[in-house]
Amino acid sequence: MPQLLKQTCRYTLWLGTAFALATALLVLALRWVDPPSSAVIQAWQLHSGRKAQQQWRPLEQISPHLQMAVIAAEDQKFPNHFGFDFAALQKALSEDRRRTRGASTITQQTAKNLFLWNGRSYVRKGLEAWFALLMELLWSKERILEVYLNIAEFGNGVYGAEAAARRFYGTSARYLSRWQSGLLAAVLPNPRRMSAQRPSRYVRGRAATIERQARQLGGSRYLVNLR
């Protein structure tokens, strides 16, 4: 029995080491290589039987208004934290919310969208934390934001800033206005029920709040903190 336990521990340690090394190398490679898709996009395509709309754009070709809008809406401490906002998490838990998206940072959301699946299991949250940590260690903040803006869902089957800009506003992500950016950021919590193209009163109100918060953060000057 002790021998079997030793072998099991050795095998588990080997698997853990191999997983850690493989995932670290994968995340390191994606520091320079643009991912052609994401786990969430692939899952949507498999489930729907349709091809998702997505066009990759480098960060400099995405409107600073949208960059600021998603930070203001999703993660205002993004330039300063190391992947986790423990204060927001504690607040969400203390308020006993059923949905804790507000406690998830942009880094965590990028990790989930890129590598994992939608769900609430402890296994998925643990893997999300691991990938988020790797991304913070191996990527710049600009790279994290760039990947996030290219794979985030802005509508049913519409992923990334470029596809959203073209689908909803007939323009490129480079030329999104402050108001359009606010609308896109406003639907991020539930892009399949809220529309950036035909915004409800709630979405318009949320977009106005996001626009105001982005200005309070310092607007485009705030993005300098990402470098």
Distance, CA of 137 to chain centre: 16
Instruction: Give residue 1's pLDDT band: very low, low, confident or very high (50, 70, 90).
Output: low
Q: How far apart are CA 223 and CA 221, in angstroms?
A: 5
Say what the pLDDT of residue 42 is.
Answer: 95
Instruction: Give residue 89's pLDDT band: very low, low, confident or very high (50, 70, 90).
Output: low
| Least confident interval from 86-90, 95-99, 104-108, 157-161 | 95-99
**Cβ neighbours of 210 (radius 10 Å):** 25
Domain parsing of the chain, residue ranges: 1-30, 36-226
Assigned CATH topology for domain 36-226: Penicillin binding protein transpeptidase fold (1.10.3810)
**Cβ neighbours of 12 (radius 10 Å):** 10
The amino acid that residue 50 corresponds to is R
Say what the pLDDT of residue 95 is.
Answer: 54
Residue 19 phi/psi, 5-degree rounding, is -65, -45
Q: How far apart are CA 179 and CA 206, in angstroms?
A: 11
Instruction: Give residue 99's pLDDT band: very low, low, confident or very high (50, 70, 90).
Output: very low
Can you tell me which residue has the tokens 């208004």?
A: 65
CB 62 within 8 A of CB 149: yes
Question: What's the pLDDT tens digit per position in 133-171?
Answer: 999 999 999 999 999 999 999 999 999 999 999 999 999
Instruction: Give residue 100's pLDDT band: very low, low, confident or very high (50, 70, 90).
Output: very low
Of 89, 95, 63, give the one whose Cα is nearest residue 77: 89
Mean pLDDT of 162-190: 96
pTM of the model: 0.89
